[in-house]
Amino acid sequence: MFRRKARADRLGGVAIVSRFLWGAVPYVCLLLFFVVPVIRMATRPYEWSTRASGLFNRQYLGWASNLFHWGLVMLIGAHLMGLAGGVLGIGWFVDVFFYWVGMVGGFMTLTGSVMALIRRFTVPEVRAMSQSDDFLVHCFIIPIIGLALYQVLINRIFGVSFTASAWIASLWTLSPQPELMASANLLNKLHVLLALAFLAYLPFTKIVHVWTFPINYFVRPYQSMRTVRNRFKKQWEFGLRTDKSFLLYAMGLLAVTFLAAGTQLGRAESATPLAAVEDSGNGEHDSPTHRLMGGALYVSQCARCHGYSGEGDGAGAKSQLFATTPRDLTVGHFHFVGTDNGVSSSQDISTVISLGLVSAGMPEFSQLPQEQSRSLVAVVEQLWEERPEPGQAVSVPPRPASTGISDVEARRVFEMNCMACHATDGRGDGPLSTVTLDWQNDLVVPADLASGAVKVSDDGEQLYLRIAAGIAAGYTGYLMPSFDEALSPEEIWALVGYLQSEILPD
């Protein structure tokens, strides 16, 4: 009971923080990002660009400037393509443009940023004319890009754009869905939060001149592009003659791009083999005006690991953060069941979605509202080909105040039934730990209970259910046998108490 209450308190606190970080903070950052540049242009146009330092260490500056600026162009383009691909479910947009173009652009920008920062520190004249924001800008850019490259190259986390793009699109519908970001990896969340902080800080720096990129440079005649007479006119114009019109057009184009993404929220389902899954609450199909549901929600939250068709071949399926490969949903060999015949029921699927398999690498989706969770269950059931009929649910009796079984007897029950696989101390290295095979003939190592590697939950009822129902989908039967008939309810509850008090960490 204590563990369940502690988990409920933790989830409540996490949900509040999540709603703040992914539902409120982005609007504050975007407000600063769009409003402050207009105010600066109207009141302080002479502070718009960086101080000229091209006379000092020019050769080094040339490399740094070209790598930084062209890399940044590639990064912005890659992220816009990733946004479109994620919202619409176009995988090759993500795999080709977002991944490859973004990675090359990331290396270029990171290298240019590091070189520029070193130059500001090491060249006395440049250091003397530098201001605090000249350094802080690079202190934002380097960790933002560094985290992204680390996730891609080291952790091999791919496909997160499907998750982030749906969340970004929801922001522009003015109906933010912060729960969509809850399943993202911690480093990905940090990457996005740093990027949001940078967007909020950027209008106060000289990087704000990105808004006034002279796009007519490519088609202008060979003459002065912007005369001194026109450059700092106080009135606003729309003829692409001054920075004011460049600013307005650039802001308008970016805003229209994101608004367009918001109108496409929920269209990713067309990239999957799924029929439309109806909202079980009101029977309405997916719509940009409703919460992400069904196939579109599956693409956003699950496809990066399980793949579009559910075969466990998503872009991020081979990440080193997974203790096992993502499940092939089409064959339905689910391990954590609660029925007497080893076939997952809808409730079993819902439980795993909600609680996750955190120690195996699958995040929990506890922040999804019930209607969204139910729609994901419906998607999994659609993907599951030739699904057998689930058996009767294994009952979990109320936990008694006392089982009448001593601690010594509970330890004996553990040693007789669990020690062969989990070992005496629960480390998962018992005598039979190297012989258990799953349905694909792959080795499955018993959970290291002593480190808390319980794949569903260490809540008493979930532990009871796992002991009573076993773990299905073994090569010749169950990975872990069912003890529903071998042990009495009192013995199972005593075993649960022993696990929670002596084996599992507090």
State the chain's mean pLDDT as an integer. Answer: 82
Residue-number span of the structural domain to which 375 is assigned: 276-383
Residue 357's beta-bridge partner residues?
362
pLDDT tens per residue across span 56-77? 566 777 788 889 989 998 998 8
- Residue 390 belongs to a domain: no
Q: What is the pLDDT of residues 7-45, one digit of tens each?
A: 555 666 778 898 999 999 999 999 999 889 888 877 877
**Mean pLDDT across 396-418:** 90
Proportion of the chain in helix, strand, coil states, percent, rounded to 5: 60, 0, 40
Angle, helices 186-201/160-171, rounded to nearest 10 degrees = 40
Write down the pLDDT at residue 99. 83
**Whose structure tokens read 């001149």?**
209
Residue 379: per-residue pLDDT: 92
- CATH no. for residue 206? 1.20.950.20
Q: What's the pLDDT tens digit per position in 96-146?
A: 788 888 899 999 999 999 998 998 888 888 788 878 888 899 999 999 999
Do 35 and 251 form a contact (C-beta atoms < 8 A)? no
Phi-psi region of 156 (alpha: psi -120 to 50; beta: other; left: phi over 0): left
Is 359 inside any structural domain?
yes
Task: Say which CATH number the domain at 446 has.
Answer: 1.10.760.10
**Section 317-325 average pLDDT:** 82
Task: Say if 223 falls within a structural domain.
Answer: no
- Rounded Cα–Cα distance for residues 87 and 291 (Å): 14
Length of the chain, please? 506
Considering the domain boundaries, does residue 230 fall inside one? no
Token duo for residue 86: 């994620």
Is residue 124 located within the same domain as residue 38?
A: yes
Alpha-carbon gap, residue 399 to 419, rounded angstroms: 24
State mean pLDDT over 183-192. 90
Residues 246, 305 share a domain: no
423 and 322 both lie in a single domain: no
Q: Is 84 helix (H, G, I), strand (E, B) or coil?
A: helix
Calculate what percentage of the chain has a pLDDT beyond 70.
83
Residue 492 has what pLDDT?
93
| pLDDT for residue 348 | 93
Return the number of other C-beta atoms located less than 10 Å from residue 35's C-beta.
12
| pLDDT for residue 86 is more than 70 | yes
294 and 243 housed in the same domain: no
Start-to-end CA span in the chain (Å): 13
**100 and 191, same domain (yes or no):** yes
Domain contains 459 = yes
- Closest-CA residue to 484 (of 497, 471, 472, 467): 467
Domains identified in the chain, total number? 3
Indicate if the alpha-carbon torsion angle 447, 448, 450, 456 is positive or negative: negative
Does 221 have pLDDT greater than 60? no
Which token pair is 369?
A: 């509202």
Pick from 505, 177, 167: nearest CA to 359:
505
Of the candidates 69, 70, 73, 96, which has an alpha carbon nearest to the alpha carbon of residue 161?
96
Higher pLDDT, 191 or 238: 191
Instruction: Give the residue among 169, 183, 134 at the shortest CA–CA distance from 26.
Output: 169
Return d(Cα 353, Cα 182) in angstroms, integer.
13
Note whether 259 and 280 are same-domain residues. Answer: no
- List alpha helices for 89-217, DSSP H: 91-92, 102-122, 124-129, 132-153, 160-171, 186-201
- On whether both 28 and 122 belong to a single domain, the answer is yes
Question: At residue 273, does pLDDT exceed 50?
Answer: yes
Percent of the chain with pLDDT over 90: 28
Last residue of a domain, one of 265, 284, 302: 265
For residue 408, CA distances in Å to 197, 425, 467, 489 come to 56, 15, 19, 17
Query: 209, 226 in Cβ contact below 8 A?
Result: no
Handedness of CA 493, 499, 502, 506 (dihedral sign): negative
- Give yes or no: residues 84 and 123 share one domain: yes
More confident residue, 284 or 231: 231
In tens, the pLDDT along 155-166 reads: 877 777 888 888
| 12 belongs to a structural domain | no
Q: Is residue 129 domain-shared with residue 244, that is, in the same domain?
A: yes
Question: 323 CB contacts (<8 Å, ≥6 apart)?
Answer: 359, 360, 361
Q: Is residue 251 part of a domain?
A: yes
With contact defined as beta carbons under 8 Å apart, do 468 and 456 qualify?
A: no
Closest CA to 253 of 197, 215, 289, 198: 215
The tokens for 57 are 């260490």
CB 272 within 8 A of CB 303: yes
Q: Measured between alpha carbons, how far is 300 from 419 in angstroms, rounded to an integer?
A: 41
Q: What's the CA gap between 145 and 78, in Å, rounded? A: 13
What are the pLDDT digits (tens) for 196-216? 999 999 989 888 877 776 665
How far is 226 from 499, CA to CA, in rounded Å?
75
User: DSSP for 414-426?
Assistant: HHHHTHHHH-TTS
Higher pLDDT, 254 or 348: 348
Phi, psi of 437 (to 5 degrees): -120, 145
Q: How far apart are CA 447 and CA 442, in angstroms?
A: 15
State pLDDT tens for residues 284-306. Answer: 444 444 678 888 899 889 988 89
Mark whether 280 and 249 lie in a shared domain: no
Q: Are 347 and 479 within one domain?
A: no
pLDDT at 200: 94
Is 11 inside a domain boundary? Answer: no
Higher pLDDT, 219 or 76: 76
439-450 mean pLDDT:
86
The answer to whether the beta carbons of residues 48 and 220 sit under 8 Å apart is: no
143 and 246 fall within a common domain: yes
Q: How many CB atoms lie within 10 A of CB 287?
A: 14
Q: Summarize pLDDT for 376-388 with one digit per residue, the tens.
A: 999 999 999 888 8
Query: What is the residue type of 68?
Result: F
pLDDT of residue 12: 66
pLDDT at 285: 42
Q: Which residues contact 493 (CB under 8 A, 6 or more apart)?
A: 399, 400, 403, 460, 464
Whether residue 278 is predicted with pLDDT greater than 70 in this model: the reply is: no
- Say how far apart CA 448 and CA 446 lie, in whole Å: 7
The pLDDT of residue 83 is: 85
465-494 residue pLDDT tens: 999 999 887 767 888 999 999 999 999 999
pLDDT: which is higher, 275 or 98: 98
Average pLDDT score over residue span 175-192: 90
Rounded Cα distance, 117 and 112, in Å: 9
